[in-house]
Structure 1
Amino acid sequence: MSSNRILAIALAFVASAGVISAQDRVVSEPVPGGQPDISALLIESPSSPRFWGSSEYLYWWTQRQTVPSPVLSTGPLGTTGTAILLGNNAPFDAQPHHGGRFTLGMALGSERRFGIEANYFFLSQQTDNKSDIASGAPGSTGTGNPYAFPSPGGGTPESFFTLAIPGAFSSVTTLSLSTRLQGIELNGLYNLRATANRRFDLLVGARYLDLQESLNLHTDSPTIPPTIQNDYTINDTFATRNQFVGGQLGARFEASRGLFFVNGTCKIAIGNVHQDIDVSGSFRQVTPAFDRTYLGGVYALPTNIGSHTRNTFAWMPEVNLNFGVNLTQHVRLYTGYNFLWINNVVRPGDQIDRTINPSQFFGGTLAGTPRPVVSFNDTSFWAQGITLGLDIRY
């Protein structure tokens, strides 16, 4: 390597530390004959690649679901000695999701000041379950689904859909909640500042986020011999989907020292979220004489069964911070933390209306007030966790 090139590299390093220029900016000016242009050195540095791509493993948690309404108890709510067995905001275990994120980018122009970048991420479906078993043995505790009903005389007194009856019926009730998340981004990049070991970019682009969740309440309630067979199988399912589409702005920085580097990104997206609530229910009754399935379970009945949609405003910030090492000039390994939040989503546990008109049970015709209904009870949602990534750039 010539002494002139060594001197040029040294000058670039000093300039990046702020010694040569308070603005730390590379200026394209004529240089003395035979001396290389410092800006050319920066273009060839790893901080200003022409192409880049990364693959990341995600180990994230999502905000746990709850079911505000009591959905299984030992008697009508408000009755002395009644215990709530499922629901009533009892938290589910926050199990982590495994997932991945894949990014491709390209710099544009001879100075590589502009660029384009796309990424896709996903979190695999995570399902959490809680169950209750009632033996139905003589002297055991009975169970059922508590609800309120619109009384013709006014008010909503408490009632009870019986499942397990000691000496007659047993029951196994399972409450399941599932969550999966994915998203896509396409961003344009503008390099605001670049040196041999520092870089600051602005980004503007579009973003799509897809949050899909479901709640299923399933009960098997068979008869206990010698009682004549009269078995029940009940299903109530509430599924939600939130699809966010919007524009976003953000900033990204990177600093390096020797083999090591740190970078981070902060973004905020603003747009529309399309919300869908899909309610379904069934009630199967098996006796020696017939096997029938009716439309509607207990909390999912003809008045709220079906697909319900709306569009509403939402905003979504995201931040991430990474620390890594340059394995070679073109390959880097890093680990980091990521946090994402959206202000307006519908989640299945919040969509249960426990005020029920029981005239609809067993496929009956509605008589009186149409309940339950879908009300689009919204809330916020977050996802966060650690990442492990491999980055390749040329």
Structure 2
Amino acid sequence: MKSTSMFSAAMAWLALTASAAVAQTMEQPASYVEPASYGESGSGAMTAAYEEPTQRTGPMVQLASWWNNTAGGASANCTDTAPSCGDVLGYGPASEYCGEMCNPRCRSLDLWGNVEFLMWWGKGTDLPPLVGTSTDSATPRGDAAVLGRPNYENLFGGDTYGNELQVGGRFTAGLWLDPHHTLGWGTRFMALGGDDANFAAASTGDQGSQILGRPFFNALLATEDSLLIAYFDELQGDPIAGGSVNASFSNSFLSAETFFRVMMENDGRRRVDLLAGYQMLRLDDAFQVNSFHTSRDPLSLIPVGTTFDITDRIRAKNEFHGGMFGLQSSLQNGQWSIDSIAKMSVGNMNQKIEMFGQTLVDGVAAPGGGLLVQPTNATPPTRERDKWAFIPEISLALAYHPTQNLSFSVGYNIIWMSDVVTSGDQVDRNVNITQVNGPLIGPAVPAPRFVDSDYWLQGINFSMNYDF
């Protein structure tokens, strides 16, 4: 926990420092100087000249001036006009009257909006081997679908899931709260479509048919074992079982923010804003395995024709609520700009694990659980806890501005989360099968687990931005 916290803090400091450093190293072009005076009697005449770069008035001074105007220093009839504050992104100097009312109380609202198409991928979830087979149909019964034995092959699990490309969207909308666009309020919502994986197989268990099994570690025998779903015993000359298995994995992600942005610096082509607000984030993933088989072994104590419907499901949920702060910068050259955001969210991560295991014998629920989810690790079936978490985020985009208000961009974004739970980490493959259909005899396994780790999401963004 200490190492992840230190790492997240280091990432945030690096991001904020890098953003500021980039802004400082940009070449400062000649910028427009605010008009020295207005024409007499409302004529609208104004003087202007290009000079060496001059720092714009700081936001606190401009806000104070706006406040004074609001209090009554401005024309009460709202007929006078004031010079434009430049384009709404703060990239360019004022060049003409824009017809804004001198009294901010009479101004129309200034808005901005951004729509992004996301192509992202994530760290994913490591699942243990859940469904297996033996490539040789004549594999001895003790080795059939057993992890690590000759001819074994994973059919589902034993790999990372949820790390493939997934698409999504992000929408941002905001309102400028003063005529000079030094203070704004915005909201942002983001969601990814998720990455799903599904598997299904069926076998009669006749001679030459595919072997199907669910591998696990047998705590009573202290060795790898497998619950056979479909198998033909060549040595005995009889089918042992026939059936089917279905397995699936899914994950999802969404985030919502509300924030204020305050202009800290603007020299005409370089603008840096301070961001501060609130963020909510959710990351969920789950897997499920359901097998159905019919006993066909004439030598077994289990009557031929007995059916077993076995289900295991584990779901991991993470919900974050916390404060967010950071920097947003834009550096423009002509119709092109480089836009970046570096921010950090700090707050509470609620982690929840839901486990379900069930065995139906001839349609009637047995007293135990499934295979990997048993009373020993699923009592209670839902467990949760709260942890302090850190979520740094960095984005960088190249934008083209065909007009003063419209821009298109392509960029890269990464989000890192310090402490989340995933479904695969909660599996204990060490199973005592005595509790499946009776009282527990021997070690109390599988044992309950509550394991968390870091997680990241990253990807490419294509966006359209419009400022009203």
How much has 1:224 moved relative to structure 2? Answer: 6.4
TM alignment of 1:347-358, pairs within 5 A: 347-358=422-433
TM alignment of 1:68-107, pairs within 5 A: 68-69=128-129, 72=132, 74=134, 75=143, 80-81=149-150, 83-86=152-155, 89-92=158-161, 94-107=163-176
Q: Which amino acid aligns with 1:25?
A: R
Identify the residue that residue 266 of structure 2 maps to in structure 1: 194
Identify the residue that residue 373 of structure 1 maps to in structure 2: 447
Of residues 222-231 and 116-125 in structure 1, the stretch that sits farther from structure 2 once superposed is 222-231
TM alignment of 1:153-192, pairs within 5 A: 156-166=222-232, 167-192=239-264
Identify the residue that residue 145 of structure 1 maps to in structure 2: 214
CA offsets 1:51-108 (integer angstroms, 9 cap, x no match): 2111212121122222135654553857752624246632347432221111111222
TM alignment of 1:10-89, pairs within 5 A: 11=50, 19-21=52-54, 24-26=55-57, 43-48=85-90, 50-69=110-129, 72=132, 74=134, 75=143, 80-81=149-150, 83-86=152-155, 89=158
Of residues 190-199 and 216-225 in structure 1, the stretch that sits farther from structure 2 once superposed is 216-225
- Which of 345, 369, 374 pairs up with 1:296? 369
CA offsets 1:127-157 (integer angstroms, 9 cap, x no match): 1124555552225564433333444xxx944
Q: Which structure carries more helix by proportion?
A: 2
* Contact 2:230/2:242 (8 A) holds in 1: yes
TM-score of the superposition, structure 1-length normalised? 0.82
CA offsets 1:15-60 (integer angstroms, 9 cap, x no match): xxxx344xx435889xxxxxxxxxx767232324932111212121
Identify the residue that residue 212 of structure 1 maps to in structure 2: 284
**Structure 2: 5+ residue stretches without partners:** 1-38, 63-81, 91-108, 135-142, 233-238
Identify the residue that residue 65 of structure 2 maps to in structure 1: none
* Contact 1:69/1:354 (8 A) holds in 2: no
Identity %: 25
Q: Which amino acid aligns with 1:355?
A: N
* Contact 2:162/2:194 (8 A) holds in 1: no
Distance 2:202 2:454 in 1: 33
* Contact 1:66/1:87 (8 A) holds in 2: no
CA offsets 1:167-201 (integer angstroms, 9 cap, x no match): 23224333311010001112221211113222111
Change in CA separation of 1:92 and 1:230 when aligned onto 2, cut-off 3 Å:
same
Alignment of 1:262 with 2:338, yes or no, is: yes
Of residues 98-107 and 217-226 in structure 1, the stretch that sits farther from structure 2 once superposed is 217-226
Change in CA separation of 1:349 and 1:20 when aligned onto 2, cut-off 3 Å:
closer
CA offsets 1:275-302 (integer angstroms, 9 cap, x no match): 001000222233xxxx323352100112
Distance 2:463 2:130 in 1: 43
Distance 1:122 1:79 in 2: 40
Identify the residue that residue 456 of structure 2 maps to in structure 1: 382
| DSSP 3-state at the match of 1:138 | coil
* Contact 1:336/1:388 (8 A) holds in 2: yes
* Contact 1:47/1:196 (8 A) holds in 2: no
Q: Which amino acid aligns with 1:282?
A: Q
TM alignment of 1:246-325, pairs within 5 A: 246-286=322-362, 291-294=363-366, 296-305=369-378, 306-325=381-400
TM-score of the superposition, structure 2-length normalised? 0.70
Change in CA separation of 1:350 and 1:131 when aligned onto 2, cut-off 3 Å:
farther
Distance 2:311 2:285 in 1: 17
Change in CA separation of 1:41 and 1:387 when aligned onto 2, cut-off 3 Å:
farther
* Contact 1:47/1:197 (8 A) holds in 2: no
How much has 1:113 moved relative to structure 2? Answer: 2.3
* Contact 2:247/2:288 (8 A) holds in 1: yes
Distance 1:388 1:328 in 2: 18
Identify the residue that residue 33 of structure 1 maps to in structure 2: none
Aligned residues between the structures: 365
Q: CA RMSD in A?
A: 3.1
Distance 1:308 1:176 in 2: 22
Pair member with larger Rg: 2
Q: Which amino acid aligns with 1:354?
A: R
